[in-house]
A and B are shown apart, each in its own frame.
Chain A
Amino acid sequence: MNLTNALARLLLFPGLLFAVPAAWFFLWTERKAVAVMQQRVGPPFMQPFFDFIKLMGKTVPRRSGSAGLLMKALPLIALASSAGAVGLLPVLPASGGFAGDLILLLALLEVPSMCMIAAGFASRSIFGEIGSAREAVMSISYNVVFLLAIVSIAASQHSFRLETLAQLPSSPLRWLGVLAILVCLPAKLHLNPFSVPNAEQEIYAGPFTEYAGHELAMWDLAHGLEWVASTGLVATLLAPHVQIWWLSAGSFVAISFAVVLLLSVVATWTARLNIDSTVRFYWRCTLVFAVLATSFALLLRLRS
């Protein structure tokens, strides 16, 4: 993968130029779907864009010291890593990639959540501390299942290249892996029933209580890009393998959109669980399936 190819993927498609409007579109879709299911009207189409522009125009309080520096830097790190994660997705056929880019994708998907944890502590707010602690606990719970599922799929194919995963044959292992990822996605994207860190009105705004203005706009945009990257990962595993570029891109967007709708239905259907129930759910219920997937993958490897 040469430099121009990499830059095009990072900046154009599926990079920033596509991902930022897609992020706003997915954020709007989620809010609109929740509203329609609650028999309301919901926000107008350009709402996330207006929110972003308005936040850029707010003044931010001056903050001094290393905490201030961290508070300025952390949203940018989160934004950069989620944009990089979107750029890595193999949307177009034969778009190149490198061995091990799955590992890079998973690492980049982790960085926004770690930045969120650091953000709560850096803001020196008690609500931020509680929110960050909850996010940290939730992260170590769902990540076990998430990573085990993906790694087992990759190991069964003897490759950690995203392109190889995009061309997976349909097998029970693939569906098990996709199911495991879908179960972890509400926790990753802070949706009901696992919207624990940003429990509004319960701990004010959680880790982001002290953030304002353009910093908050960066956090929201990073969250939107996380949506695109996570749903894109599911779409990569599920999308059929076609050679025509626009069909491939179209099916990628369509499957991501379907995953967004599914997550919105789950978010409207359920109520927020508390942190104890969340941890118990991931460690007791879903871990079994992750172990099943890993064993299945090992068996496949041993047989091939």
Chain B
Amino acid sequence: MNMLTMLLKSLLHRSVTVRFPARPPVSQNYRGLVLLDPALCSGCSMCAFRCTSRAITFRATKTEYKWSYDPGQCTFCGRCAERCESHALSMEQACPPVYLASGGLKCSYTMQRNPPAPKPAAVLLPAAETLGANPAAGGTQ
């Protein structure tokens, strides 16, 4: 009888349906598409190393590196963004869109490597400091 009263009561309530094309909001910390900020990327390629499904590929030369991402291959685990030290990667807080052609939504960025920092000039230390350290007695650690 419980079931019958439940069914008849729902005749009085409105439906709980989300009417198409409206969509319910995604939860907090939802893992959607991986987004790269090219300005912050340092080219360490840890994301390509950690990627579980080879969705992120990384090609590098001496002067530039290319980061590509295929959402069709992605499993949205979040391992790449979790350990990006330069915080260049983030996961979009929205559902990935539907696409019609295979390989749609693929994206890639080509970034230039920063030129290497100039080496600092050699500095001569004053003589008093080198005498202070006595290697036979263990010296300074």
Across-interface contacts of B13 in A (CB, < 8 A): 39
Q: Smallest CB–CB gap between B39 and chain A, Å?
A: 46
Report the interface size class on chain B. Answer: 10 to 19
Report the interface size class on chain A. Answer: 10 to 19
Shortest beta-carbon contacts, A-B, top 4: A37-B7, A41-B17, A39-B10, A39-B16
Q: Are A40 and B17 in contact (CB under 8 A)?
A: yes
Q: Are A268 and B19 in contact (CB under 8 A)?
A: no
Complex Cα distance, B40 from A48, in Å, reads 56
Complex Cα distance, B19 from A38, in Å, reads 15
Q: Write out, one digit per residue, whether chain A residues 16-37 have a CB within 8 A of any chain B CB (1) or not (0).
A: 0000000000000000000111
Across-interface contacts of B7 in A (CB, < 8 A): 37-38, 265, 268-269
Across-interface contacts of A269 in B (CB, < 8 A): 3-4, 7
Across-interface contacts of A41 in B (CB, < 8 A): 15, 17, 19
Across-interface contacts of B8 in A (CB, < 8 A): 37, 265
**Restricting to B1-46, which residues have a CB under 8 Å from any CB of A?**
3-4, 7-8, 10-11, 13, 15-17, 19
For chain A, what secondary structure do more than half of its interface residues adopt (helix, strand, loop), or is it mixed? helix
For chain B, what secondary structure do more than half of its interface residues adopt (helix, strand, loop), or is it mixed? loop
**Restricting to A253-304, which residues have a CB under 8 Å from any CB of B?**
265, 268-269
Find the residue from A36, A39, A268, A269 having the highest chain B CB count within 10 A.
Answer: A39
Closest to B19 in A: A41
**Restricting to A34-73, which residues have a CB under 8 Å from any CB of B?**
35-41
Closest to A33 in B: B11
Across-interface contacts of A40 in B (CB, < 8 A): 15-17
Across-interface contacts of B19 in A (CB, < 8 A): 41
**Restricting to A235-250, which residues have a CB under 8 Å from any CB of B?**
none
Q: Are B15 and A36 in contact (CB under 8 A)?
A: yes
Complex Cα distance, B10 from A40, in Å, reads 10
